[in-house]
């Protein structure tokens, strides 16, 4: 065995979890992604999806994807830079820019590629990237790839952010990068506070709206719209894999910024173009966001009901005020065990453990869709209460 294989063979954490019967990953779903899914022939309630508006099975979304395949085929066989730009790419980008209140936008093949490509190229060696310590991994990866000075501030702590901004050369570019909704904790960025400090220190702002679009703002336009700070935020990022019920991502900004990114973001230039079906599905989902406001209303009715339910039973849910509800366990192995016990009870939830979070912050991520029924939610709340009591968590 060579040295590389010898090193990698020592990683046996998954094998140990499997042997203990608590391995929670790569569960094979045999059905559509809905409020109920089938795994190993068993129907379970899905409370682990990011499809907040429940559009993955909407007939208009599916039909749009099918029609796109009929017209354009299954792929573009090249990058956007060369032969992979379709008219529907450009049409959707114009709609997305208008939707989030910016002049222009470009779409990428995944949301991860947006953050990795944009953040890594937009600032230079003498500039600064200032970021929240619990930003998404894709943001962190983009920051790692950048040659700029990196400054991390404590989560949603404006005093900490200001201290980092004070370290920056006032004549250099300072880009503050934050999630709008933090994907594991479910809390919302203090965008008004960030905007205030950005103005004070002449900094720019990029907001990742992956979990904000379809959830916050008028017709689901995101947290920037929710707080009324769209004009103060320079770059708005979004993904198609959550509320848009598809695959891909985009960045929206002023025309000059988008022109620069179109010719410099390596994950855009050197990646295959987003598939016709994905673009068409996202476009149809956007139509539904604009024309079916009752979905967003339904999502918030369920969210408030669930938040009240978890608080009343005594669960520790942190500062969330969104359809992402963290149920803190604070123990890796116990988190895995409870995920398995909930699955046995017919409920699919996601474990979030170290290194995704600190070992003392492990949690179960419970997330809602507008298409969940109150009966499904009640069943989940009752099962969680029973299992949490058995483990003395409440």
Q: How far is CA 232 from CA 124, 132, 150, 163, 235, in A?
A: 22, 18, 22, 21, 9
CA diameter of the chain: 61
Residue 391 designated active-site: no
Residue 167 designated active-site: no
Six-digit token pair at 153?
């501030």
Kindly report the CA angle at 142 between 241 and 251, in degrees rounded to 5? Answer: 50
Q: How far apart are CA 198 and CA 40, in angstroms?
A: 51
| Residue in the block written with tokens 């320079």 | 234
**349 and 366 in contact (C-beta within 8 Å)?**
yes
Q: How far apart are CA 325 and CA 75, in angstroms?
A: 36
Is 159 buried (19+), middle (13-18) or exposed (0-12) by CB count in 10 A?
exposed
Choose the catalytic residue: 58, 174, 242, 372. 242
Residue 242 designated active-site: yes
**213 and 55 in contact (C-beta within 8 Å)?**
no
Q: How far apart are CA 55 and CA 272, in angstroms?
A: 25
Q: How far apart are CA 229 and CA 223, in angstroms?
A: 9
Q: How far apart are CA 267 and CA 271, in angstroms?
A: 6
SS (H, E, C) 169-217: CCCCCEEEEEECECCCCCCECCHHHHHHHHHHCCCEEEEECCCCCCCCC
Q: How far apart are CA 232 and CA 101, in angstroms?
A: 11
Choose the catalytic residue: 211, 246, 273, 278. 211
| Partners of 162 in the β-ladder | none
Q: Cα-flanking dihedrals φ and ψ of residue 67, to 5°?
A: -65, -35
Choose the catalytic residue: 107, 109, 183, 271. 183
Question: H helices then E strands: how many in the chain?
Answer: 15, 13
Task: Please list the active-site residues.
Answer: 183, 211, 242
């Amino acid at each position: 065995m060579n040295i590389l294989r010898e090193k990698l063979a020592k990683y046996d954490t998954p094998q140990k979890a499997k042997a203990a019967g608590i391995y929670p990953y790569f569960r094979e779903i045999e059905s559509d992604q809905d409020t109920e899914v089938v795994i190993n022939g068993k129907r379970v309630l899905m409370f682990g999806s990011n499809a907040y508006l429940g559009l993955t099975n909407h007939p208009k979304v599916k039909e749009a994807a099918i029609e796109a395949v009929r017209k354009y085929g299954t792929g573009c066989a090249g990058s956007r830079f060369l032969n992979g730009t379709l008219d529907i790419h450009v049409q959707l980008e114009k709609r997305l820019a208008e939707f989030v209140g910016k002049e222009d936008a470009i779409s990428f093949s995944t949301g991860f590629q947006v953050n990795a490509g944009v953040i890594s190229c937009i600032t230079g060696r003498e500039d600064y990237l200032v970021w929240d310590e619990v930003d998404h991994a894709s943001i962190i990866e983009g920051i790692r790839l950048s040659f700029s000075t990196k400054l991390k501030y404590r989560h949603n702590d404006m005093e900490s952010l200001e201290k980092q901004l004070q370290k920056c050369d006032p004549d250099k570019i300072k880009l503050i990068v934050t999630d709008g909704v933090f994907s594991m904790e479910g809390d919302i960025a203090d965008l008004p506070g960030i905007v205030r400090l950005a103005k004070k220190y002449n900094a720019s702002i990029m907001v990742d709206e992956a979990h904000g679009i379809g959830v916050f703002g008028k017709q689901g336009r995101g947290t920037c719209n929710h707080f009324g700070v769209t004009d103060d935020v320079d770059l708005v990022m979004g993904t198609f894999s959550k509320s848009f019920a598809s695959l891909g991502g985009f960045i929206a900004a002023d025309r000059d910024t988008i022109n620069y990114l179109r010719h410099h973001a390596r994950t855009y230039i050197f990646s295959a173009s987003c598939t016709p079906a994905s673009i068409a599905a996202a476009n149809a989902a956007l139509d539904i966001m604009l024309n079916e406001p009752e979905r967003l209303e339904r999502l918030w009715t369920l969210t408030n009901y669930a938040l009240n339910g978890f608080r009343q039973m005594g669960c520790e849910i942190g500062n969330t005020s969104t359809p992402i509800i963290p149920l803190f366990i604070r123990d890796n192995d116990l988190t895995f065990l409870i995920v398995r016990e909930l699955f046995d009870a017919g409920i699919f939830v996601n474990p979030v453990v170290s290194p995704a979070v600190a070992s003392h912050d492990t949690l179960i991520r419970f997330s809602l869709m507008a298409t969940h029924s109150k009966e499904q939610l009640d069943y989940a709340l009752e099962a969680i209460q029973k299992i949490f009591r058995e483990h003395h968590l409440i």
